[in-house]
Amino acid sequence: MSDLGDPIAYEALERHTPVLSADGQEIGTVDHVLADEREDVFDGIVIRRTLGHRHTHAFADADQIAAIHEHGVTLKLGTTASEALPAPSDNPAVMREDPAQKPYSALERKLLRAWDWVSGNY
């Protein structure tokens, strides 16, 4: 892709925008922008790749993105490294409790507070 247009902010990035490797090969399209717009934090993009009739997704972290333009996103990674990007996790921001973890007893809570105080983690 020769003319990627003007640079834009991640907030203006649209779905289906082509994603290019550092050497100019199209590796997929933007499927989703991961960001916390209230805090103005850009986390990365989910890339949709098509292989025949099969679709896969990959996650590119914000620090792996070289530039965002009107008509394309360029990664800092070459084609081979871009093809090896990991699949996005289901939802890394969701906290889950371990059902095997029992609630702390009153004594354990006191000991943990004492340990935090002694170690300076208060």
- The Cα–Cα gap between 101 and 96 comes to 11
Query: Domains in the chain, ordered, with CATH?
Result: 1-89 (2.30.30.240)
- Rounded to an integer, what distance in angstroms lies between the CA atom of residue 121 and that of residue 114? 10
Query: Would you state the pLDDT for residue 95?
Result: 47
Length of the chain: 122
State pTM to two decimals.
0.71
pLDDT at 99: 63
- The rounded average pLDDT for each run of 10 residues, N- to C-terminus, in the chain (122 residues) is 87 97 96 89 94 91 97 97 90 57 79 78 60
* Residue 63 pLDDT: 95
Q: What Rg do the C-alpha atoms of the chain give, in angstroms?
A: 21
Minimal CA–CA distance to 77: which of 3, 4, 1, 20? 20
Residue 29 is predicted with a pLDDT of 97
